[in-house]
Structure 1
Amino acid sequence: MNPTFFPNRPTRSIRLTALTGALALLACTASAQQMSRLAARGPQIVNAQGQPVVLRGVNVGGWLLQESYILKTDTLDCQRRIQQGLLRTMPEKDVEEFYRQYRAGFVTKADIDFIAKQGFNCVRLPFHYDLFLTQQQRWARTKALQSPKSDAALTAYVQTLSQWYDAGQLFTDLDQLDGIRAIDNVLGWCAADQLYVVLDLHAAPGGQGTDPNINDNFRPLDLWKRRDAKGRLIYQDVTVRLWEQLARRYKNDPRIAMYDLINEPHNLNAEHGLSADNQELSAFYSRLIDAVRAQKDEHLLLLEGNGYGNEYTNLTPDKLRVKDKTGLVYNSHRYWCPNDAQAADPNPNQINLVRNLAAFRDRWQVPVWVGETGENSNEWFAAAVQQLNAQNIGWCHWNLKRVDAGTSFLRVKPYGSILTAEGRAKLLQNSKFENCEVNRDALFALLQPADARQPFARHTLPATIPAAAYDLGRDGVAYHDTYSARIDYREHKPTNTGDQYRNDGVDIQASTEAGAGGYAVAHTEAGEWLSYTVTVPKAGQYALQLRATNSGPAPARLQLKLGEATVGTFTVAADPATTGWQTVAGGTASLPAGTHTLRLLVEQPGAVLGWLRFAETKAAAQGGQ
């Protein structure tokens, strides 16, 4: 039978597709029914049985909003400018197709399955409001972003947005919107793994601050300032309507843990023509909360304070003018700050320090949650989450993926430029889960106890061990470096000066030296050390060698220790005129059978370290490098 003769009858393939989709929907519904709706009970988040739930999760940023530093397009500053660059070289339909492919591959079920296998229980989903516009509506926004300095173009877009708003044409026919498709996919993937989802409006209409990378806005703070021809704060009206529609759709969905109403409002202050005490933010949150609750939606609502999510003057429960104050959760975003349990801010409403965060929770009897934390060294991660875990405060790591970076869980290989066809093709390939490299050290830091140490690689003697293949673990446990965590946001010095391979305080740089595994340990200082777990199959004598360079003014000296005993010493001669590699003999070590921890201690700094070699004395006598 030729199906073309029956234009109103679905073909067999279409019927099968519809059946498959229906079965998938039933499976997702079944998974959703297995998950328990979360609620607030005093300072705790609890499930339907009243049991406390501590949400520990991962952000999937850079996917539904491209942040420049995640993709290594820093000079482009934000998604809007990335799109401007693309539109200079390709038609708009091709730009849309690139973004369709990007959204289809950057995060998939495989990524969500990976998150679940690590033991996390939630995913925070940052998204851009423009994904809830129709394609035709998004074209109107695109026209404005192509003329970034034109006030007339921006005014025209705002007026068009107002017309859609008044005509009830925004966020309708939800099943056809890219943002809804993405949310529904994530909900299905996460429910299959028993992961909760936090919906995060990361780039709000008009922009919630001054940082274009986060807001992707046309003008700073337009969410709070831009009025339409009728004098309305139209971006706020649009934001309210978006959350109304999301609440109507998802109000009965237990897979969603929280709605994160606005990501990181910042620089709402007198300097930028707004109040000095969060009056605008307080009024808008009150409006958003009432709008969601009016849909009979009882989901937890996550509030983010001024100052990138941390300052809550006039945002405390007693100050919010809302009909229903139940189900509120207060957020902190913790970056580049001290993890000392005794560190405190004199402002009790500034809650990025753990002591303030816990005190705020206890004073107001509300749950608190760290919606973002990370972007630091493994040592900082470990200290941060252990402080939070001790207080039973949940947290969400930023981020799942980054291009050529060690702070994320998955490292995307460099791809060139997003503004070239070759670069875009490589980005689409390199960012797929199966092509990413797992940053095992970052995961280890977040998920293991403070005193945990494990081999980074298997070292069975005799062997040549790359210097950068030291054990996994915290500063003082697996290694020691004089600067291993950034605790002041004004300090931009990297903890890993070479910015290569691993995310500890150890300074690692690229190297082509044979046997070094592509990397070398540099910028050593006196007192620093590296530990290596080695397996010795049988007791014996091992000749020790170190491959190193030293362009400094004085010889470098290092000791190899087994416990407190020194089993080898190395002196790397100074040669200021060259960076040539030397193979330095360290003597002969008598090592017992078994698994041992060896520690390479810097006594006198200056050397760049390539590898350590342990050769059986007989083999060493016959020669070697």
Structure 2
Amino acid sequence: MNGSSPSPQRNNILRNIFFGFLTVAATSLFTPNAEAQQLPFLQAKGSQMVDANGKEVVLRGFNVGGWLLQESYILQTDSLNCQWRIKQGMLRTMPEAQMEEFYKQYRANFITKADIDFIAKQGFNCVRLPFHYDLFLTAAQRHARTQAMLSPKNVDGYVEQLSTWYDQNQLFTDTKNLDGFRFIDDVLKWCAANKLYVILDLHAAPGGQGTDRNINDNFVSLDLWKRRDAKGRPIYQDMTVRLWEKLSARYKSDLRVAMYDLINEPHNLNAANGMSADNQELSALYSRLINAVRAQNDKHMLLLEGNGYGNEYTNLTPDKLAIQDKTNLAYNAHRYWCPNTPETADNNPNQINLLHNLAAFRDRWQVPVWVGETGENSNEWFVAAVQGLNAQNIGWCHWTLKRVDGPTSLLRVKPYGSVLTPEGRAALLRNVQYANCQPNRDVIAALTQPATFQAPITALTIPGTIQAADYDLGRAEVAYHDDYSAKVDFRDNTPWNQGGAYRNDGVDIKVNTDSPDKNFSVGHLSAGEWLKYTVKVASAGSYTLHMRVQKGSAPGQVSLQLDGGKLVLVPVSQATTAGEWATVTVKTPPLPAGQHQLRLLVEQPVNQISWMRFEQTGASSAGGQ
């Protein structure tokens, strides 16, 4: 972003290029051993995260969201909104035991060692593990929560049951058998075998840390902050403290854990919702949590998340927290739909999602900062974000590893139907398995390659057919130009890919209804937009070009350029009827053999282009190999 060269750390991490290593069914090259289990303990030293030898460690990795807490958009069940409502829908047609069995299978399939191996193979060094507090309840306690889920009138009774279990020390105690501890142990083992650090993330806190139940799966908004039991205690906060005490007791000496992410994305803690306007409630709970962890002689780094989805830190800076031990604190930002220019700043220095504020906060308070979530945007935005963060040696963790029909994730899960039908659930359990997922190669390129990177997405030869959507991998102005290629204002919901199919660039791609095999077409082609293809001309000579196009309301025109020189004009006006597909045919001058850069330039607007087919019409001596 600012003209700096990629850091040596980035170059070391991102050395591999794609072909060959993106096979979904590939098995891990790593095996567990003593060396892999002994990752150096991480700690804060001034504004850096360092290992035991004082060497800086920049954590770059992936969230495994949607696994131990279902967020409805990850599963394409937005109408259901959150995990408890998905469960509620299931319980209309099945008994509770059957629902619990489905979730047991879902969690067994969604993330496995193969997924973690795949993350490591891309060159990342950490995994953030989001989890729901209900995984640390016993079966009987989870049944009580299910009863509260079925009717709002049951919530008060559930709270009083929690109070009783809390007083009797029956919460989070069976560390050998509770699902939450078992899943954490599995992930730690898988990650250690790949020399990956793990960040433990309480993603859905007891009671819910905000108003968005899709994120925190709460029954009542802001109940973590507002709910009192019959004794007047903030019972959900007391439970949160106890849960972290139990987690700390189990993992305080575990070198595989990089940080504890104490509460994910607290949000809408404000006067409009009957709370303070300056994070007093959040500051008080963080102080309790930090003191509770440190009381067990646990030195792990503790990651704080500010109000406003993890970004606003008024009264949360080290000087404001009511804690004695201010060491090994780290501060988090969640970066979505914002500018990546280094000079863009927020007037509030405690609002740190912008690059300028993030670095300034780090330097002002001499604390490490880390972007615990970023993503949900176009590849162009990813490249700019990664370049900006890497230039500042700020680590980041992409959201998220896999999504149903998700173009922004590392792995794409095939659509499955409805989670409320037996057929849909069976398909979901199959489709989420690593071997059945499809790597999004363009996303991987955006996150792991230098800003200048360009490579073929597939081998293209002339003579032959080139699909319009198979332009090269690479960022905007390297592999393509589109009028709108990234979302930098959260209020602007203009899609960067009008069509949303196949790839995650600014190029507008949709499923091609003209093609019997449902291939893809590129559309919304405005004057000045272009696509670049690396092609191999097998045999020098003249060619006939057939281009499958859909004309707009006015005559359109595109041109092809070879290695920067104009090759041929293609008048789309030959397709006489607007909205209908037609094949336009033109002759090309002689093409030299060998590898070349072919650029398709839109001279006048065109609705869609499906493919270009080159057929040789005459041999020529032009060009060499």
Please confirm whether the aligned pair reaches a TM-score higher than 0.5, indicating the same fold: yes
Q: Secondary structure at the match of 1:332?
A: strand
Q: Secondary structure at the match of 1:163?
A: helix
Q: Secondary structure at the match of 1:417?
A: coil
Q: CA offsets, 1:31-55, max 9 Å, x none?
A: 5642110000000000111100000
How far is the alpha carbon of 1:226 from its aligned partner?
0.2
Aligned to 2:222: 221
Which of 1 and 2 has higher RCO (CA within 8 Å, sep 6+)? 2
How far is the alpha carbon of 1:517 from its aligned partner?
6.5
CA distance in 2, matches of 1:597, 1:87: 57
CA distance in 1, matches of 2:513, 2:498: 18
CA distance in 2, matches of 1:200, 1:289: 15
CA distance in 2, matches of 1:139, 1:534: 60
Match for 1:364: what amino acid?
W
Which of residues 58, 66, 72 in structure 2 aligns to 1:68? Answer: 72
Aligned to 2:3: none
Q: CA offsets, 1:52-110, max 9 Å, x none?
A: 00000000000000000000000000001001001111000000000000000100000
CA distance in 2, matches of 1:84, 1:516: 38
Distance 1:176 1:576, change over 3 A: farther
CA distance in 2, matches of 1:139, 1:344: 48
Q: Report if aligned partners of 1:310, 1:333 keep a CA contact under 8 Å in 2.
A: yes
Distance 1:609 1:287, change over 3 A: same
How far is the alpha carbon of 1:483 from its aligned partner?
0.3
**1:582-601 mapped onto 2 (5 Å cutoff):** 582-601=582-601
Q: Secondary structure at the match of 2:176?
A: helix
Q: Secondary structure at the match of 1:174?
A: coil
> What stretches of structure 2 of length at least 5 have no aligned partner?
1-30, 620-625
2:280 is equivalent to residue 276 of structure 1: no
CA distance in 1, matches of 2:188, 2:236: 27
Match for 2:506: what amino acid?
G
**1:477-556 mapped onto 2 (5 Å cutoff):** 477-514=478-515, 518-550=519-551, 552-556=552-556
How far is the alpha carbon of 1:591 from its aligned partner?
1.9
Distance 1:376 1:330, change over 3 A: same
Q: Secondary structure at the match of 1:336?
A: coil
**1:206-217 mapped onto 2 (5 Å cutoff):** 206-217=207-218
Which of residues 79, 83, 90 in structure 2 aligns to 1:79? Answer: 83
**1:161-310 mapped onto 2 (5 Å cutoff):** 161-310=162-311
Aligned to 1:17: none
2:450 is equivalent to residue 449 of structure 1: yes
Aligned to 1:7: none
Q: Report if aligned partners of 2:549, 2:575 keep a CA contact under 8 Å in 1.
A: no
CA distance in 2, matches of 1:436, 1:457: 19
Which of residues 29, 37, 41 in structure 2 aligns to 1:37? Answer: 41
CA distance in 2, matches of 1:476, 1:496: 16
How far is the alpha carbon of 1:574 from its aligned partner?
7.5
Q: Report if aligned partners of 2:553, 2:578 keep a CA contact under 8 Å in 1.
A: no
Q: Report if aligned partners of 1:122, 1:196 keep a CA contact under 8 Å in 2.
A: yes
Aligned to 2:421: 420
CA distance in 1, matches of 2:575, 2:599: 26
CA distance in 1, matches of 2:157, 2:69: 24
Match for 1:87: what amino acid?
L
Q: Report if aligned partners of 2:336, 2:490 keep a CA contact under 8 Å in 1.
A: yes
**1:390-429 mapped onto 2 (5 Å cutoff):** 390-429=391-430
> What stretches of structure 1 of length at least 5 have no aligned partner?
1-26, 620-625
Distance 1:344 1:574, change over 3 A: farther
CA distance in 2, matches of 1:616, 1:124: 53
CA distance in 1, matches of 2:36, 2:316: 33
Q: Report if aligned partners of 2:413, 2:438 keep a CA contact under 8 Å in 1.
A: yes
CA distance in 2, matches of 1:574, 1:222: 64
CA distance in 2, matches of 1:63, 1:29: 27
Q: Mean Cα displacement is larger for which, 529-538 or 446-455?
A: 529-538
Match for 2:320: what amino acid?
K
Match for 1:102: what amino acid?
Y
CA distance in 2, matches of 1:576, 1:375: 40
Aligned to 1:382: 383
Question: Normalized against structure 2, the TM-score is what?
Answer: 0.93
Match for 1:86: what amino acid?
M
Q: Secondary structure at the match of 2:202?
A: strand
Q: CA offsets, 1:471-517, max 9 Å, x none?
A: 00000000000000000001111100101110000001111434987
How far is the alpha carbon of 1:520 from its aligned partner?
0.5
Which of residues 99, 109, 114 in structure 2 aligns to 1:110? Answer: 114
Question: Normalized against structure 1, the TM-score is what?
Answer: 0.93
Aligned to 1:563: 563
Which of residues 55, 58, 62 in structure 2 aligns to 1:58? Answer: 62
Q: Mean Cα displacement is larger for which, 609-618 or 224-233?
A: 609-618
Q: Report if aligned partners of 1:466, 1:517 keep a CA contact under 8 Å in 2.
A: no
Q: Secondary structure at the match of 1:523?
A: strand
Q: Report if aligned partners of 1:210, 1:220 keep a CA contact under 8 Å in 2.
A: yes
Q: Report if aligned partners of 2:37, 2:192 keep a CA contact under 8 Å in 1.
A: no
Q: Mean Cα displacement is larger for which, 425-434 or 581-590?
A: 581-590
CA distance in 2, matches of 1:317, 1:415: 47
Instruction: Let me know the Cα RMSD of the aligned residues.
Output: 1.4
Aligned to 2:127: 123
Q: Secondary structure at the match of 1:379?
A: helix
Which of residues 70, 76, 96 in structure 1 aligns to 2:100? Answer: 96
How far is the alpha carbon of 1:166 from its aligned partner?
0.3
Distance 1:232 1:28, change over 3 A: farther
Aligned to 1:612: 612
2:51 is equivalent to residue 47 of structure 1: yes
Q: CA offsets, 1:259-294, max 9 Å, x none?
A: 000000000000000000000000110010000011
Q: CA offsets, 1:277-333, max 9 Å, x none?
A: 000000110010000011111111000000000000000111111010100000000
Aligned to 1:14: none
Q: Report if aligned partners of 1:202, 1:262 keep a CA contact under 8 Å in 2.
A: yes
Q: Secondary structure at the match of 1:597?
A: strand
Q: Report if aligned partners of 2:523, 2:608 keep a CA contact under 8 Å in 1.
A: yes
Q: Secondary structure at the match of 2:186?
A: helix
How far is the alpha carbon of 1:573 from its aligned partner?
2.1
